[in-house]
Structure formats: C-alpha cells, structure tokens
Chain A
Amino acid sequence: MAAGKTDEAMLRVEELSLRFGGVQAVLSLSFEVRQGEILALIGPNGAGKTCVLNCINGFYRPQKGNIYFEGQDITSFPPHKIAEQSIGRTFQNIQLYSGMSVLDNLMAGRHNHMKENILTAMIHFGWVHQEEVKHRKQVEDIIDFLEIEAERYKPVGMLPYGTRKKVDLGRALALEPKLLLLDEPMAGMNVEEKEDIARYILDIVEEREGTVLLVEHDMGVVMDIADRVIALDFGELIGEGSPAEIKANPSVIEAYLGKVE
C-alpha cells in the first residue's frame, strides 16, 4: 500500500439535500471519505443510502449541497464525467450488460482507458489489436483476482447470482476506480460468499490502493471490515465514528430497534 491511510478527504459531501416532491430523501448531510479507508454507510430501509450514492454518481441532482472529489466540485457533472474522475460503482440489484459475456462486461468497464475511435475500431489494424490485448491483460488480472476464470466466456445471464455479483464488482474494478461505491455487495449471499466478498474488499484497499464507500445491511460484516461508519435515518446523519462507537450510539440503536417507552 503506497498511498496508505491518511486523514486527507478524498470525497467530501457538504450539506447535501435531496427531495422528491414531498419526500425528503436526504437532509443536510455532510460527511467525508478519506483516502484508503473503508467507510460504511448504514441505516434502516429507506434511510436514503442509495440516494446518496446516486447523488455522488450524478444520477440525481441534489437541490442543495455540494460534492467534492479530490477538491473538485462534481455536483453538476453528468454520470459519465464522474466515471472519468475514477469513481466506480456496483449495484444493489445486479445491473450487468446481459447480452455480453463476462469478459466483454469487464472490457466494457475499461471504456475510459481505451483510446480507440470509430474509424480505427472499424479498420482494426495494428495498434488497435495491441490496445485490445493490453486491456485484455488488465481484465485478466481482475478475472484472476475474483476467481472467475471458468466463467470468462459465459453470457452473464447464465451465471448464478453470486457469480454475477462478482462480475459486477469486476466491472467496477476494470474502471480502475480511486473511489469504489459498493451498494450492498453482499445482499442475498451465504456466509462463504460473504466472506469472499469481504476478502475482496479488504484486498482492494490493501493491494489496489482503493478507497471504498460501502452500503451494507449485514452489521457483522460492517463492524468487521469498516474503518469508520456513518449511520443515516430518514435522510439525516444520526451517528458517525468507529464501529465500536456506532454500536454504542443511542440514536443508532433507536433507529434500528425503536425507543423504549
């Protein structure tokens, strides 16, 4: 790990507010993601966790507030510009390119790093071959990392759920993200699969110098692997701190378990 954990904020969210008609999805939310850490974002269903990710990704335009990535204001960027800043994302309900093989899904993830244009792609001479092969090697590294060698040529529609989750993660990694947004990477998995994903997340941070913003419902996993945790309820920040602090936080306990009358 060259960069290492620092206190430097990589992503800074300031006073973010998002409203859909009468529904206040996110209200004056501020937090920061530091270089090289795993930050978990937790909260009950409907707390606005995915909304926050969608704002960072540029899917939603917040009514108020700003999002800074490495000092640059990216609040008004369209999603593909945000991808160019090296922010990768996986999805809660797997969103793969169903018509492509695993390999092509991952190659499609390298879109921003490839230099082909329409003419060279059509003629496909010398350097285009080299370019494709170069990126193929990078993709093979990820395939190797996620242990999906056997599935390489299979259409993603045929794969079991757990493997598709891995492909989704692999496609995000193909983008070479500095910041990786993971939206419930372990939903619907058994213990072994969860352990695998947890290991990948730790490896991403340690070996690939990644920074992870993790939305997850499995508290066991969150408490084990997260460096810091922030808790949301009804779009508002109710707790921030280390896993141990969050466990002891009365507002968090109340949000999850209800109030003692």
Chain B
Amino acid sequence: MQYNWHWKVLLETEPGGTGTYLQYLIVGLGWTLATALVAWVLALAIGAVVGTLRTTSLKWAVRAGNLYVEIFRNVPLIVQMFLWFFVVPELLPQAIGDWIKQMPPPWGSYVPAVMCLAIFTSVRVAEQLRAGINSLPRGQRLAGIATGLTEAQAYRHVILPQAFRIVLPPLTSEFMNIIKNSSVALTIGLLELTGRARAMQEFSFRVFEAFATATVIYLLTNLIVVLAMRALEKKVRVPGLIAAQAGH
C-alpha cells in the first residue's frame, strides 16, 4: 500500500478562509449535532403523539397512525430528503414556496433536513412507544379506568409515565441513528460533518486524512452519547422490573 500520509493538512487553511481544515470539520460536527438535536426533539414530540394514538380505542386514530408509519417507513431516507427539499416547496402555495426557496444558505438546506429527519425518526419513536405501552400489564389501564379516570387521564397519569421509562433504552439507539442519518443531508447541500469531510477531500486531495478525521470525530461523539445515555437510563429505571436488576 503506497499512500503518503500528510496529517499536517489538518492545520492548513481551508479555501473558504474560515480557519484550518480541522476547525472546518469541527464546525461540521456542530451542524451535525444542531440538525440531529432539533430533529430529535421534534421526532420525540410527534412520535409520542402518534405512538400513543395507535394504542387508544379510537379506531380512526389507529388507522391514521398506521398509515403515517407505513408511509414514512417504506420510503428511503434520501428520497424523503429530496421530497422535502425539491418537491414540498413546489406543492405549497406559491408565496410560501418562494419564501422557502429563497432562504439563505445554510438554512435553505437545514430546515428541510430537520423536517425530514424529524418525521423519519418519529415513526421509529412511535413504534418503540407503542411497543412500550403494549408491554404494560393490561390491569394498569383497567385499574385506572376502574378508579374513575377517563381514558385520557389513564394515559396521562398511569400508562405514559411508565411507558416512557421503559422505552428509554431503545430510544438511545434511535438517537445515535439520527446523528448518523443526518449525514444524508449532504445530498441537499447541508455541510455537516460527512459533507465537510467530502469537501475537504475535494479541496485538498487528502482523501484518507479527511475521512479518517471524520471517522474519529463520529466515534468520539458516539462514545459521549452512549455514556450520557447510560447515566440517564440509570436515573429513570423503573424499580422492580427485570431491566432494573440486570443493569441494561
């Protein structure tokens, strides 16, 4: 293998003149996290509503929830990205569409990317939450109703507080997925970490230095997320369940 490593390239100035290549990549990580975090908050909110509705006794809500989940689960992420970026502005009323298309960069890519990742991930959150709710003993809901709570109150005070604590560990891996999936936003022009590694490779011709640095940054990010989530999981563990004793 003949490849002359030239790690000093990381300290050279990138063509945009905003700093070194290393700084350029770290700003990319900032965009990755900014995209993933905002999309994650939205995904949790939408996913919680859809996942809950799919377990209720409302038939229309269950059907609408199922339709939502099937649509956004069976179309590839990059295609959904293109739909949000190219197609949605065309289908909206012209004034709003034009306003979206004229958003200055990077917001013109950032907003569609966040919307896309939020909806894409909300489906997975909804599935996890539905599984969590269904894993509760039926007696919990029945006892809630028997003590005079309405269905909504039973959800609010009995079912959801338990379900959320049960689904937290599987949601951790969804959060890691949203960080990884945000790299697909480079196809609509968002310069997040992978996009910037690609750009660095094109400017400097240092292929493997660029991708190796991005790889290390992703691994470190993963490590931090895993440690943080593990601490959080310990905090919200439901006492008395098997998971509480097994430790994961």
Whether chains A and B associate is no
